[in-house]
Structure 1
Amino acid sequence: MKTIELNTGIDIPVIGSGTNTFGKENKDYQGTINGDTTELAAAIKAGYRHFDTAIAYRNEAVVGKAILESGIDRSEFFLTSKIPGTPEYTKDAASVKSAVESSLSALQTETIDLYLIHHPWDNVEEIAAVWAVLEAYVDRGIIKAIGVSNFQEKELSYLLDHSRIKPAVNQIESHPGKWNDGIIGYSLEKQVVPEAWGPLSRISDSAKEQLTKIGDHHQKSWSQVVLRYQIERGVVVIPKSHSAEHQADNLAIFDFSLTDEEKEIIKGL
């Protein structure tokens, strides 16, 4: 698996698996947690070692369970979780600490590789205060890297200017039709690795048709072309699938490259 070195010095796999509907009844985001690790086990078997969860997903414990059940050493995995940007979790230092400790307990791990603020809120000074608590966990080696999610330039620039440990990652929505080139470019400029959630979602039929034509030249699917485009421009991708076949396909993107002409077409979708 190809990796990118974060500004903290640790490596992040360029492909991870989203998990927000895993371990839930009817594979529904709002579904009751049922503890089913089928999709996670399939992903691990396919070769995934990077998993993305969150307190808001309610399934950190399912991810932790799957890793233990795999029999593979914890050190082989890169785990991301997120603290919600809501007062229940951010109102004071004790609330932030409680959130982190709950994630550690649910994941059944002594360390978390990457911990994100799930989304920004209006008070950037409060965001910086939450960040300072997370920095202390990095100092202690409990969290290896910290970052943000869904931050635009305003919030990210403030945090960059008012933090001791710079954000390592900015996880944002990015897919054909909504590449979010502006914040991706800004993040890269500031040595913050952009990470795409939902990279294969909300894609129009016309975009799929053009992507399929490009994929045919490389004997690849439209979805593989999308993921390849993202990693070629320095973006980590977090696709999600309940299908073992599709999970494997999403990893099979390291044996081809896109031409400059193809990348210009994709950029314009």
Structure 2
Amino acid sequence: MPWRSITLPNGSSIPQIAFGSAPRRSEGAQVKSVDNLTHAIRSGFRHIDTAQQYGNEDFVGAAIQASGLPRHELWITTKWSDGNKSPEESCRVSLSKLGLDYIDLYIVHHEWTCQGDFAGSWRRMEDLAEKGLVRNIGLSAFGLEKTREILQHCRIKPAVNMILFHPNVLKDTLPLLACMKQHGIALGAYSVCKPLWQDSQSSLLPALEDIAGRYQATADQILLSWARAKDAIIFTSSTSNERMQGYMQAGDVILDDEDVRRIDRAGQNIRI
């Protein structure tokens, strides 16, 4: 089964797996970034994620142009990162760098981007949606308290909240997830595969290895499939062409309910 799309509250259909671009600081950075993104698109990614803070939206724009794909076949997410500039000023610069007429999902990058003015910042994000500069607006790394504050003042609810999400943080995330589900905010999940490179003495890694063997998959594919089972929009990244292809192939790995629960328990260091 290939990766599917998730329907957002306004009816937009967002691809469930995204390729996250990242800053490249080495010599030849622009060529490497464009080539990396171009390969991601060729591997099947149709959702590309960037941000004002990354300083690479022009690279993303070049990769979009190089792809030759019609605009409607690509979903572009970027983020308002600089709280010293208004969302509209930042958005218009991003549109210019990306070479686009609209952004599919525009996100407040951090709680601190709002500089304490959450109601006012969100109102200005809503203005962007109402002007047609962006199709959807959302949050990144917003905790329960500030998510509730946005919800108290909003005319348009956040479509997505991108948060750190993997089995080792699942338990701590449950109150926020419940709030998001109640208000129809989609879960955007980043660093899903972090446990694989994080020094951990938990029971998660042995469980992943066992499950991966039974599904003839890799451990990172199992984690992506676990996040898929949680209805997450998954934000990945890699400079490896082979790993990109593996991420796309993870769409064919469908965990049964018991394996999902086993990963949940192992992430909480409950030995089974």
Q: Using structure 2 for the length normalisation, give the TM-score.
A: 0.88
SS at match of 1:196: strand
Partner deviation per Cα, 1:64-118 (whole Å, 9 max, x = no partner): 110101111122110000111x5412xxxxx222111111111110000000001
112-121 or 195-204: which moved more? 195-204
SS in 2 for 1:121: helix
Matched, 1:185 2:188: no
Corresponding residue for 1:249?
Answer: 246
* TM-aligned CA deviation for residue 42 of structure 1: 1.0
Q: In the alignment, which residue of structure 1 is the partner of 2:220? A: 223
What is the SS of the residue equivalent to 1:34? helix
Which residue matches 2:270?
A: none
Please tell me whether the aligned partners of residues 46 and 73 of structure 2 are also in contact (alpha carbons under 8 angstroms): yes
Q: Spell out structure 1 runs of 4+ moving beyond 4 A.
A: 122-125
* C-alpha deviation, 1:252, in angstroms: 1.3
| TM-fit CA distance, 1:122 | 9.6
Contact 2:163 2:190 in 1 (8 A): yes
Are 2:207 and 1:214 equivalent residues in the alignment? no
Please point out which of 4, 14, 19 is paired with 1:2.
4
Q: How many residues align?
A: 257
How far off its partner does 1:231 sit?
1.1
Residues 124 and 155, structure 1, Cα contact 8 Å, conserved in 2: no
Q: Which runs of 5+ in 1 are unaligned?
A: 90-94
For 1:140, give the aligned amino acid: K
1:159-170 alignment to 2 at 5 Å?
159-170=150-161
Is contact 1:170–1:193 with CA below 8 Å preserved after alignment? yes
CA–CA distance in structure 2, aligned partners of residues 128 and 48 of structure 1: 34
For the Cα contact (< 8 Å) 2:221–2:253, is it kept in 1?
A: no
Which of 122, 130, 135 pairs up with 1:131? 122
Q: What is the Cα deviation at residue 260 of structure 1? A: 2.3
Match of 1:265 in 2: 262
Amino acid in structure 2 at the alignment position of 1:166: K
- State whether structure 2 residue 47 is matched by structure 1 residue 50: yes
- Give 2:166's match in structure 1, choosing from 161, 171, 175: 175
Tell me the equivalent position of 1:197.
Answer: 190
Letter in structure 1 aligned against 2:205: K
Shift of residue 125, structure 1, vs aligned partner: 6.5
Report how far residue 214 of structure 1 moved.
Answer: 0.4
Whether the 8 Å CA contact 1:33–1:58 is kept in 2: the answer is no
- Decide which of 130, 148, 153 is 1:157's aligned counterpart: 148
Does residue 14 of structure 2 align to residue 12 of structure 1?
A: yes
Deviation at 1:255, TM superposition (A): 2.6
Local SS of the residue matching 1:145? strand
Aligned-pair identity in percent equals 30
* Structure with the higher helix share, 1 or 2: 2
Structure 1 position 132, deviation (Å)? 1.3
1:239 offset after TM fit, Å? Answer: 1.1
Counterpart AA for 2:185: V
Residue range with higher mean Cα deviation, 212-221 or 251-260: 251-260
Deviation at 1:138, TM superposition (A): 1.0
Q: How far did residue 198 of structure 1 move? A: 1.4
RMSD: 2.0
Aligned to 1:88: 84
Q: Residues 255, 191 of structure 1: CA spacing in aligned structure 2 closer, same or farther, 3 A cutoff?
A: same
1:100 and 2:88 correspond: no
CA 1:41–1:122 in structure 2 vs 1: closer, same or farther (change >3 Å)?
closer
